[in-house]
Amino acid sequence: MATYEARSEVTGSVWNVVCEVGQRLEPGDTVMVIESMKMEIPVIAEDGGVVKEILVAKGTAVTEGQPVAVLEAK
Amino acid sequence: MLDKVVVANRGAVAARVLRALNSLGVSSVAVYSDADADAPYLALASETFHIGAAPARESYLNQDALLEVLRVSHADGLHPGYGFLSENHRFAQRVQDAGACFVGPSPRWIDAMGHKTRARELAAQHGLPVGRGTGVLLGDSQAMLRAAEQIGYPVLVKPAAGGGGIGMIAVYKPEELAAAVERAASLAERGFANAEVYLERLVERPRHVEIQVLGDSTGAVRHLFERDCSVQRRHQKIIEEAPAPAIAREHVERLAAQVAQVLGRIGYDNIGTVEMLMGPDGQFSFLEMNTRLQVEHGVTEEVTGVDLVAAQLRSAAGESLSEILPARIAMDGHAIQARVYAEDSKRFFPSPGPLQRFRPPRGEGIRVETGYREGQQVTAHYDPLLAKVIAHAPTRQAAISRLVEALEAFEIQGVKNNVPALVAILRSDEFRSGRVHTGLAAEVLARVR
């Protein structure tokens, strides 16, 4: 079991969190959507896995590279 | 002429409108949100007003705050710029009801053209070429499938109240239609507070050609030729030029004349742009009409020598076209605009941040429109446009060279920017040949990566 952090690729704010703690995601699934400069950029669970922790709430400002969720991959 | 005009916008267009007001000797009122308190163009205004917090809905989309500025400043006009409230007919009406001049067409034209299927019907009624499509879809899935079949696949699902390429989905097979319509409706509801969608024939590898018009309060309308805006990323324009390359002049000028004639017949009364698609067969089809100043108006100004913003203001103030425009308008040379965005050059992801270095290029035939200066913060609250760089030269090839040189001299540090992508496109054989189409940017950038 390896835990990893899903990170925002852009500076912006959390538009929508689309997963819940405990949920199992497939590789490539969306964890949350970041809004920046009128664009919506998804944060992807690269390796999939179970969502262990969501680090930011809807509306929170995030910076590029900031961890926004912790996942545990198989 | 108007005495004092509120500029209800920010960034490059606010700077542009303030300059036009100064040149006309009209007093100006600039507004700003928390995020724009340091904006350089505020110094161009006679008065400035803070209108709210950084998020647009609390400032530049806040109708009550803007109407309050209009009242307190005793201004007799309001220029909406582009984006934000520029195509909101209710806001235009409220400005008029407050006793001021809305610098744009009458609210009824903003309303009529703002709804895509109604605008298509109007265009078709008056003999403009309109591609196959439907009215607003009513949710009957069998009827929807029949309509798509009649149009012929591929079809495009589009929001009726939309714009900016948001919520547009291409459908290649009947089994994909229902899901695409549902998704488009949800995006439309979120983006435009209107879930109505319709179907249109998807023209593959089309060119985007648009006709610039100006009308006056008597309903007289003239055109100022065309622009080609085919080079796009995410359905949004990044390179625009006038004249359109590699089209027979009589073909496009016949269209321009027809557009002006139709708009004159219906009594259109200020600035506007009719956007058309041109298929590989050379056929034009009506796409939509924008009832405002366009981001790319500068290329038309460069080749025609007409100050479109001043012309728009004079028309709104009641002057007639014969007073505003020269008797004969001709195009001189070629102008190309590149939109410099704070976004990475590969995936076009936005990149807000501090402008640690920001030195726009200068040179013969180079014009830069920007609302930023070095040291300012580019925030995530607004669109990523940093600057528009416009090159004007006697020929298209010379304009391309001039623009490439200017873009390469543009010093930007602190935010990522799309200059490398713009230069790659401008240098490509496809662009240089003039055989442009809306897929060109993606094709060129896929190759250079």
**What is the CA A44 to chain-centroid distance, rounded?**
6
Q: Which residues contact B327 (CB under 8 A, 6 or more apart)?
A: none
From B103, B137, B166, the end of a domain falls on B103
B149 shares a domain with B95 = no
Residues of B in Cβ contact (< 8 Å) with A39: 234, 349-350, 384
Q: Which residue has the higher pLDDT, B413 or A40?
A: B413
CATH number at residue B51: 3.40.50.20
ipTM for the complex? 0.85
Q: Do A11 and B342 touch (CB under 8 A)?
A: no
Q: Which residues contact B237 (CB under 8 A, 6 or more apart)?
A: B208, B229, B231, B295, B296, B339
Q: Each residue of B299-347: pLDDT tens digit?
A: 999 999 999 999 999 999 999 999 999 999 999 999 999 999 999 988 8
- Residue B244 DSSP label: P
The two structure tokens encoding residue B95: 């400005």
The C-alpha angle B80, B29, B58, rounded to 5 degrees, equals 60
Angle, in degrees to the nearest 10, between helices B141-151 and B174-192: 110
Burial bucket for residue B380 (CB in 10 Å: 0-12, 13-18, 19+): buried
Q: Is B431 part of a structural domain of the chain?
A: yes
**In Å, how far is B141's CA from the nearest CA of chain A?**
28
Q: Do A37 and B353 touch (CB under 8 A)?
A: no
Report the predicted TM-score, pTM, of the whole model to 2 decimal places. Answer: 0.95
For every residue of B253-282, DSSP letters joined together read: HHHHHHHHHHHHHHT--SEEEEEEEE-TTS
Residues of B in Cβ contact (< 8 Å) with A38: 382-384
Q: Do B380 and A41 touch (CB under 8 A)?
A: no
- Residue B44 DSSP label: G
Query: Which residue in chain A is spatially nearest to B383 when comparing CA positions?
Result: A37
Q: Which of A11, A18, A43, A60 to mutate to test the interface with B (most CBs of B within 10 A)?
A: A11
Residues of B in Cβ contact (< 8 Å) with A11: 350-353, 380
**In Å, how far is B238's CA from the nearest CA of chain A?**
16
Amino acid at B133: G
Classified by CATH at the fold level, domain A2-62 comes out as: OB fold (Dihydrolipoamide Acetyltransferase, E2P) (2.40.50)
Q: Is B114 part of a structural domain of the chain?
A: no
Distance CA A51, CA A73 (A): 9
Question: Is B328:B359 a contact under the CB 8 Å cutoff?
Answer: no
Number of compact structural domains in chain B:
3
CATH number at residue B419: 3.30.470.20
Residues 3 through 22 of chain A touching chain B, CB cutoff 8 Å: 9-13
Residue A24 has pLDDT above 90, yes or no: yes
The two structure tokens encoding residue B436: 């442009």
Report the residue from A37, A61, A64 with minimal CB separation from B384.
Answer: A37
pLDDT in tens, chain B (449 residues): 999 999 999 999 999 999 999 999 999 999 999 999 999 999 999 999 999 999 999 999 999 999 999 999 999 999 999 999 999 999 999 999 999 999 999 999 999 999 999 999 999 999 999 999 999 998 888 999 999 999 999 999 999 987 777 889 999 999 999 999 998 998 888 778 889 999 999 998 999 999 999 999 999 999 999 999 999 998 899 999 999 999 999 999 999 999 999 999 999 999 999 999 999 999 999 999 999 999 999 999 999 999 999 999 999 999 999 999 999 999 999 999 999 999 998 889 999 999 999 999 999 999 999 999 999 999 999 999 999 999 999 999 999 999 999 999 999 999 999 999 999 999 999 999 999 999 999 999 999 86
Q: Do A12 and B382 touch (CB under 8 A)?
A: no
Question: Is B430:B436 a contact under the CB 8 Å cutoff?
Answer: yes
Q: Each residue of B35-48: pLDDT tens digit?
A: 999 999 999 999 99
Residues of A in Cβ contact (< 8 Å) with B349: 9-10, 39, 41
How many beta-carbon contacts under 8 Å exist across A and B? 39
B185 shares a domain with B276 = no
Q: Is B110 part of a structural domain of the chain?
A: no
Please name the residue that has the structure tokens 């060279």. B401
Where exactly are the structural domains of chain A?
A: 2-62
Q: Is B181 part of a structural domain of the chain?
A: yes
CATH number at residue B156: 3.30.1490.20
**In Å, how far is A46's CA from the nearest CA of chain B?**
17
B311 shares a domain with B240 = yes
Residues 15 through 74 of chain A touching chain B, CB cutoff 8 Å: 35-39, 41, 61, 64
Question: Is A68:A6 a contact under the CB 8 Å cutoff?
Answer: yes
The answer to whether residue B383 neighbours chain A at the CB level (below 8 Å) is yes
CA-closest candidate to residue B21, choices B314, B231, B241: B314
pLDDT at residue A74, rounded to an integer: 75
- Active site amino acids of B: 292
Report the residue from B234, B380, B383 with minimal CB separation from A12.
Answer: B380
Q: Is B417 part of a structural domain of the chain?
A: yes
B133 shares a domain with B49 = no
**Which residue range is the domain that position B35 belongs to?**
4-103
Question: Is B413:B340 a contact under the CB 8 Å cutoff?
Answer: no
B168 shares a domain with B257 = no
Residues of A in Cβ contact (< 8 Å) with B384: 37-39
B82 shares a domain with B64 = yes
B224 shares a domain with B343 = yes
